[in-house]
Structure 1
Amino acid sequence: MRLRTVLIAAGVVVALPIAGIAIFAATFDADAYKPRIAAAVKEATGRELALKGPIGLKLGLSPGLRVEDVAFANAPWGSRPEMARLRALEVEVSILPLLSGTLQVNRVVLVSPDILLETDADGRGNWEVAAPTRQGAPAPAGPAPTAPSAEPSPSAQRELFVGEVTVTDGTIAFRDGRTRQTTTLSLPRFAARAESRTSPLSLDLEASLNGNAFSLKGMVGPLARLLGTRGTGPWPIDLTLGAEGARATVKGSVAEPLTGKGFDLAVEASVPDLSRLSPFLPNVSLPPARDLSLSVQAADRGGPIPELRALAVRAGASDLEAIVPGLRLARLEVSAPDVRSPVRLALAATMRGAPVSAEGTLGPLGAFLPGAGPAPWPVDLRLGAAGAEATAKGTIARPRAAQGIDLALAATIPDLAALSPLAGGASLPAIKGVTFSARASDLRTGSGAALRDIALKLGESDLEGSAEVALGARPKLTADLRSRKIDADALLAAMDGAGSGQPEPARSGAASPTPVPAQRAGREARLIPDTPLPLAGLKAADASIRLALAELVFGGASYREAQATVALEAGRLKVDPFRVTAPGAPVSGSLSVDGSTDQPPVALVLRAPAIDLRQLIAAFGGGYRVNGTLELDLDLRGRGASPAAMASGLAGHVGLAGANLDIDNRLIDLVAGEVWRALVPGAPRDGVSNVRCLAVRFDSQGGTADARAFLFDTSLARVAGTGQVLLGPEQLRLRLVPTLKLAGGMSVPVTLGGTFLAPSVRVDAAGAAGSVVGALAGGAAAGAMQTPLGGIAGALVGRQAGSGAAAAPADDCATQLAIARGGRQGPVPAPETAAAPAPAPPPAQAPAQPQRPANPLQQILPRLGR
């Protein structure tokens, strides 16, 4: 009986709780608690919690709760009513771990969560909630008095453990209230599992960012370490991230996962096409590199920068046209043992079909990391392209600031035209044998760069010296350059034929004279162009340049000992002085242009005291027979934005003087053309004329040039002149008096009018009659012209009216040359002796039709009337 009683009692003890639980499960109505739950949430957050679906409860040692159709209200300013919506929420907990003070959640399941995180225009987030202040409750007057610390309650010491979290068909969106842009993270599947509180957490994520799918799988250390639970030892990481065919792995450990300290990680990545990852980084422009791989080991050693080891970046064949037109990468490798060791670089590519390569070493990457101390950063690079090679070797003392640069640069280019693909497709000149070397450095004060010990060779041309560019609000170029020879003809010929594939035309020292046609079809209306001068470039930068050229070959001529000092400051250009020994003459002068104003003043001075005509013509024209010396004196000043505007107000003078010259008649005909043949009928086009003197001086003021000296005295004729030249409208207003020496000194004044491009010659009717009659009368008295017209003239004026020779003019060679030279002394021709009259021909034996020489008037008058 006693055993039976014990068994019955035990059965009652066991059955009663089970019966109680069964009765509770049968009679419990969870939906009745919805108002209380919603009210509690409203009191805690100030927002509504809607529990629209049923609430299910599963009892047992691992009780579970399922809530369906849940919605949590958004902030009043939100873009939609609900901040979060869930189709269902399931939570399962364990009862027994509570006895040991652990709150163990076995499983959390979120079905179709739709969560919106957003900010307003002020940056306030909708996740910021606060309990509302109850009506009638007094506001807190201040902080409560500090109470003595008490031992935490057992419940406060409970630890939380979540065994599994699963999300299916979820969406998390973030909307920026300032930019109104929304980023959406879709979660088709997410699972996180841990066997125990101290075991690693496995992750399995399939998601998409704004419609771009990616995955994350692997393992990390216990979640408890991230929830503040103390722990020791490394926190392991082994994760693999995948997207668009790319794969990245992170393996290692972190000693303090909450602070990120004490990490030691190995990172590897392989990317078939880097540009396909652009949707994940919308604000970053990713190059279309292909077959990209990256590997690095990073460790935190307690210093200001991490320790990086075994760094390697590689890229395969890639079309980089989108970044640099014409660039195709074949191979790129960058590697370094660690951040304290030099970086090795190797590159192979093509630029518009031309092979390009680079290899060498650069200083350590650690120099660019925060906290890096100053140390020389070595550079040793070799670049190759289309047969050319360039090197850069030296150090940079402070690479982060690009200061302390000291590099030796060198380049060897067999054919400059072969580098045209690297010049943006432009055709480079076909210059052979180009070499360059210099020492590059930065400036001690300010920013900029300098080149010292420059040695440049372009075929037969060379250049040496130094140059520096100072950067700032107005960049400034300072240079001191010299050359043994600059063959500008060869350089220009190479530029003219750049890319044409045509051979360079042969050049000769003396080119055959090419007559210039008197008329050109479609010729311009002006000789002096009205095109605006490119003066804007003078304001872009400043310059101070000294230039010395031992020889300059230009236009087939050789200029020697050329020197110039150029100063450019705030748009004001000054070349003073410049000197050069031009072909046959030393020339000196100066030039100034003030480009700081809209109507810039310009001043030009040129002086050549002795121009050897033979050398000058041999250098430029060739084939003409000339001899003698000319003097040039030019001092002009003007103002305007174009040559025509400057000419309209030109001031100053131009003087040209020469005595005892021999000039090829072909050259006279080439220069003077129809005007010379009109003034001197029957002027020979072959042979050489002796020019006793050439004296020309124009003094200009306000664009009107007055002829103070104008005399051209040859063995054939003497032409004196007066008048003006209007430079603005390009009009000629000159009165010329040609005296034909072979016609007894006859003079017929003419006017030279029209424009520079269309001159006209007309007889001066007012002064022609007396000159003609006097000449004819004098000729009759001397018996030089036995014509009816001579007899009539003699009868009209009397035989005593003429002396047989014209009176010598007041403006002779000596006077005119002195004016042309500005009063300076110089050579003058010997006085001209009067030629003996030709003997009268013997009387004819009654010829049937006497032959008379052509009357000079019959030759000159028709020409002057043109």
Structure 2
Amino acid sequence: MRILKWIVAVVVLLVAGAVIAVLTVDVNRFKPQIVAAVENATGRKLDIAQDMKLSLWPLGIGVKQVSFANAAWGGRPQMATVGEFTAQVDLMALIGGQVKVDSLVLNDVDLLLEKDRQGRGNWDFTGQKPAPQQQPQSQATTQSGGTIIPSIENVALKNVRLTYRDAQANSQNNVVLSELTVKQAKGGLLAVKMVADVDGKAITADGTLGSFDDLMSGSRPWPVKMAATLPGAKVSVDGSIAQPMQAKGIALKLTVDAPDLSKVAALAGASAPAVPLTLQADVKDTGPQRYALSNIAAKVADSDLSGNGEVNLAGAKPAVRFDLASKNMDVTQLMPKDSAKPATGGSTAAGGSAGSSAGGQKRLFSSDPLPLEGLNAVDATGSYKAERLKAPKLDAQGVALNLTLKDGVLNAKPAIANLSNGSLNGDITVNAKSKSMTAKLDGKGVVLSEYLQKAGITDIVRRGGPADLVLDVTSSAASMQQMMAGLNGKMVLKVGEGELKEEYIRDFLPGLARAVSALDRATAKTKLHCVVSGLDFKNGVVTPKAILAETGSMTMTGDGTINLGTERIDLKLVPSSRDTGLAAMLPPVNVRGSLADPSFTPDSAALAKGVLGAVAGVAALGPLALLSPAMGSGGDDAATACAKAVALAEGRPVPQSAKPATGSPATGTQTQDQQKPESRGDALRRGLGNLLGR
């Protein structure tokens, strides 16, 4: 009993001593030391305008009107101001040598974080700190010399305003934290609740976190279970962090449920369609500032995405690796609705600003700079596969893409196993530093009728028309306009047998349509033997090595130039026929004007001289006239004409005529409707406009 009395007496004395200390100690005499310590550590002034107050029970300290100076170059004198700060400490724990904060309250906080044009942040105190001075050992240490880690159980922040300014990006973001509370919950967890406004968008969050002691000590995995609600989406994180203070041992599952993707995109100042999005992924750290995303499962509208990836933030720039796949990817559903609308008022098909030259000519290719600087922001490598991919003017199966991005050089190798029953392979490189581009495409067996009709371009090819394409070009990549103006290389297009719609011929040239109908009254279709186009590109000027459209009834050849830089056309198309009666009706057709608004007119010189048909073809086409059916020994058949055109297009020796032509088939092609200018080329223009997105 005597020992118990002594213990009680000691406790009473300690409590009495603490009471006397609280009642007699003037904490404001420590203000100069506090201010000096902060200035010594940061090089900035701390101002405590009002007296600090010390309370006995619960033991605590309070202070009002505190401000912390900003950097000398900052946008305002204070980096931070605090209206009220209070902290309550567990007295008995303090007597036992522990710092246990029962309550920490911050009210009316205004914090400004900013970066100047040189990229300096006002939170960077490098170069502002005075030389460190040798200080006596703090009393807040354990007997073994280790620092005592305070334990905080309850935190309340109210009316906290955070402003972030970036002078380099000329941007500003504002966060208003109406409420943030952290309270002790069951099982030693902390219950968290937050109500905030980010740039006018309301965000709430609640959940549980591990204890503050576990957070600081890292003695065991720190549990995280949080759910947040933001405009258009709900986001949850569930898992643990083994060493939270070192950001090590991250093992979290991320879940996103966004009924309206457009609202989520608006948070980042971007646009997106109003479609639903769901996403799940496991996030783990694989090294310092390296994070792996595994078991990715996303669904946007009718599209899906799965796979794995990794982000490395440890280098000079972020590095990304990914391996992704889709069963179905419909890009058209993910595009903003207004991007699919035809451009009007002189806007470009490339989506740039209004495309008009100094003379008022409408332009197809935008002069807006392409966003090449984005290629320098990150390095990336990865692969993507899609069982089906749908995009504007594209509906394909068995799509594969291998991509590398290193030091601003992007290389993409697309491959399509089934594009309208054909295949397509490519190799495309874009260099952000030199602003250059190279592209090689090799397409085989793409059925033109299926492709044109499925893409909604035109139905001029009724059936068939398997097409092979070889494209090998280089150019600038500064803008679409410069890309077209600097194009160098070649293209070869070969289209095989199919059927054309006769009504297209009727729309373009009624006289020819009547003649074709007379030759084949039993059908409303016209045979297509081949279309061959061999083009050379030199500094944006397109020169044909061969142009041929062969139906067996009629042959269309052509020559001239297209200047992609000025977007001006100067072509002469020459229809000819093995039927002498039909041939006399066919004048050469001049195609002039701009790519956006071409004109088709009969050759006035040929009409004036009465020189039509094969004779006009010889006069107009020069070397390419050998594609005319009247050239060679008695004329070529359709197959021979196609073979000659392919040889010319590919730069090979032209084969000799296999045999004189027999019979007199006619051809179907597209020229100007001479009798009704108001309907001239309406169907073909519609198809061309669909192809170019106009």
TM category, shorter = 0.5 to 0.7
> CA shift at 1:812, angstroms?
2.2
SS of equivalent residue, structure 1 residue 214: coil
Work out which of the residue numbers 553, 572, 576 in structure 2 matches 1:739: 576
Hey, what does 1:578 align to over in structure 2? 415
Kept in 1: contact 2:557–2:573 (CA 8 A): yes
Matched ranges for 1:666-705 at <5 A = 667=504, 677=509, 687-705=524-542
Query: Aligned AA for 2:401?
Result: A
Hey, what does 2:225 align to over in structure 1? 380
Aligned residue pairs: how many? 549
Does residue 442 (structure 1) correspond to residue 280 (structure 2)? The answer is no
Hey, what does 2:74 align to over in structure 1? none
Does residue 468 (structure 1) correspond to residue 310 (structure 2)? The answer is yes
The change in CA–CA distance for 1:692 and 1:429 in structure 2 (over 3 A counts) is closer
Does residue 489 (structure 1) correspond to residue 332 (structure 2)? The answer is yes
* Deviations 1:614-642 (CA, angstroms, capped at 9, x unpaired): 45314424665611223232323223233
> CA shift at 1:588, angstroms?
1.9
Kept in 2: contact 1:430–1:495 (CA 8 A): no
Work out which of the residue numbers 297, 301, 308 in structure 2 matches 1:459: 301
Q: Aligned partners of 2:44 and 2:492: how far apart in 1?
A: 81
The unaligned stretches of length 5 or more in structure 1 are 1-163, 185-208, 220-235, 277-282, 286-297, 498-503, 505-518, 671-675, 777-802, 838-857
The change in CA–CA distance for 1:758 and 1:610 in structure 2 (over 3 A counts) is closer
SS of equivalent residue, structure 2 residue 468: strand
> CA shift at 1:643, angstroms?
3.7
The change in CA–CA distance for 1:731 and 1:302 in structure 2 (over 3 A counts) is same
Hey, what does 2:275 align to over in structure 1? 431
Q: Aligned partners of 2:61 and 2:209: how far apart in 1?
A: 32
The change in CA–CA distance for 1:590 and 1:642 in structure 2 (over 3 A counts) is same
Does residue 613 (structure 1) correspond to residue 449 (structure 2)? The answer is yes
Does residue 808 (structure 1) correspond to residue 635 (structure 2)? The answer is yes
Matched ranges for 1:701-780 at <5 A = 701-714=538-551, 717-739=554-576, 741=579, 743-746=581-584, 748-749=587-588, 752-756=591-595, 757-759=597-599, 761=601, 763=603, 765=605, 769=609, 771=611
- Structure with larger RCO (C-alpha < 8 A, sep 6+): 2
Of residues 340-349 and 392-401 in structure 1, the stretch that sits farther from structure 2 once superposed is 340-349
Q: Aligned partners of 2:377 and 2:85: how far apart in 1?
A: 51
Kept in 2: contact 1:545–1:565 (CA 8 A): yes
Does residue 392 (structure 1) correspond to residue 231 (structure 2)? The answer is no
Query: Aligned AA for 1:332?
Result: L
* Deviations 1:628-677 (CA, angstroms, capped at 9, x unpaired): 2232323232232334434444333222223432122455689xxxxx64
The change in CA–CA distance for 1:381 and 1:626 in structure 2 (over 3 A counts) is same
Q: Aligned partners of 2:458 and 2:605: how far apart in 1?
A: 41
Q: Aligned partners of 1:379 and 1:177: how far apart in 2?
A: 36
Q: Aligned partners of 2:453 and 2:304: how far apart in 1?
A: 27
> CA shift at 1:710, angstroms?
1.6
Kept in 2: contact 1:265–1:299 (CA 8 A): no
Kept in 1: contact 2:331–2:390 (CA 8 A): yes
* Deviations 1:290-331 (CA, angstroms, capped at 9, x unpaired): xxxxxxxx9976462436456211345x47486897866564
SS of equivalent residue, structure 1 residue 430: coil
The change in CA–CA distance for 1:606 and 1:407 in structure 2 (over 3 A counts) is same
SS of equivalent residue, structure 2 residue 433: coil
Hey, what does 2:489 align to over in structure 1? 652
Of residues 679-688 and 327-336 in structure 1, the stretch that sits farther from structure 2 once superposed is 679-688
Q: Aligned partners of 1:735 and 1:622: how far apart in 2?
A: 23
Of residues 615-624 and 653-662 in structure 1, the stretch that sits farther from structure 2 once superposed is 615-624
The change in CA–CA distance for 1:688 and 1:608 in structure 2 (over 3 A counts) is same
Query: Aligned AA for 2:645?
Result: Q
The change in CA–CA distance for 1:629 and 1:468 in structure 2 (over 3 A counts) is same
The change in CA–CA distance for 1:241 and 1:396 in structure 2 (over 3 A counts) is closer
The change in CA–CA distance for 1:183 and 1:542 in structure 2 (over 3 A counts) is closer
> CA shift at 1:440, angstroms?
0.6
Kept in 2: contact 1:592–1:604 (CA 8 A): no
Percent identity of equivalent pairs: 23
Q: Aligned partners of 2:85 and 2:674: how far apart in 1?
A: 101
SS of equivalent residue, structure 1 residue 620: coil
Query: Aligned AA for 1:629?
Result: G
Work out which of the residue numbers 372, 377, 387 in structure 2 matches 1:550: 387
Q: Aligned partners of 1:247 and 1:619: how far apart in 2?
A: 65
Kept in 1: contact 2:561–2:570 (CA 8 A): yes
Work out which of the residue numbers 205, 208, 220 in structure 2 matches 1:358: 205
Hey, what does 2:396 align to over in structure 1? 559
Hey, what does 1:593 align to over in structure 2? 430
Kept in 2: contact 1:636–1:650 (CA 8 A): no
SS of equivalent residue, structure 2 residue 556: strand
> CA shift at 1:488, angstroms?
1.9
Does residue 311 (structure 1) correspond to residue 153 (structure 2)? The answer is yes
Hey, what does 1:332 align to over in structure 2? 180
> CA shift at 1:462, angstroms?
0.5
SS of equivalent residue, structure 2 residue 371: coil
Kept in 2: contact 1:699–1:708 (CA 8 A): yes
Kept in 2: contact 1:336–1:344 (CA 8 A): yes
Q: Aligned partners of 1:435 and 1:551: how far apart in 2?
A: 20
The change in CA–CA distance for 1:308 and 1:488 in structure 2 (over 3 A counts) is same
The change in CA–CA distance for 1:450 and 1:165 in structure 2 (over 3 A counts) is closer
Q: Aligned partners of 2:202 and 2:308: how far apart in 1?
A: 32
> CA shift at 1:396, angstroms?
2.1
Q: Aligned partners of 2:430 and 2:110: how far apart in 1?
A: 53
TM normalised by structure 1 equals 0.52
Hey, what does 1:408 align to over in structure 2? 253
Bigger Cα Rg: 1
> CA shift at 1:605, angstroms?
2.0
Kept in 2: contact 1:638–1:647 (CA 8 A): no
Q: Aligned partners of 2:402 and 2:418: how far apart in 1?
A: 16
Kept in 1: contact 2:305–2:326 (CA 8 A): yes
* Deviations 1:492-540 (CA, angstroms, capped at 9, x unpaired): 256869xxxxxx9xxxxxxxxxxxxxx99x9745444444332222222
> CA shift at 1:405, angstroms?
1.6
RMSD over equivalenced CA pairs, Å = 5.5
Kept in 1: contact 2:110–2:161 (CA 8 A): no
Matched ranges for 1:52-67 at <5 A = none
The unaligned stretches of length 5 or more in structure 2 are 1-23, 66-82, 112-121, 125-138, 165-171, 342-355, 518-522, 617-629, 667-672, 679-694
Q: Aligned partners of 2:379 and 2:255: how far apart in 1?
A: 28
* Deviations 1:382-425 (CA, angstroms, capped at 9, x unpaired): 3334684332222223322212222122223334356577x167
SS of equivalent residue, structure 2 residue 369: coil
Kept in 1: contact 2:402–2:414 (CA 8 A): yes
* Deviations 1:183-227 (CA, angstroms, capped at 9, x unpaired): 99xxxxxxxxxxxxxxxxxxxxxxxx78x44354679xxxxxxxx
SS of equivalent residue, structure 1 residue 431: coil
The change in CA–CA distance for 1:337 and 1:667 in structure 2 (over 3 A counts) is same
Work out which of the residue numbers 635, 638, 643 in structure 1 matches 2:474: 638
Hey, what does 2:21 align to over in structure 1? none
> CA shift at 1:808, angstroms?
2.0
Q: Aligned partners of 1:284 and 1:705: how far apart in 2?
A: 57
Query: Aligned AA for 1:813?
Result: C
Hey, what does 2:321 align to over in structure 1? 478
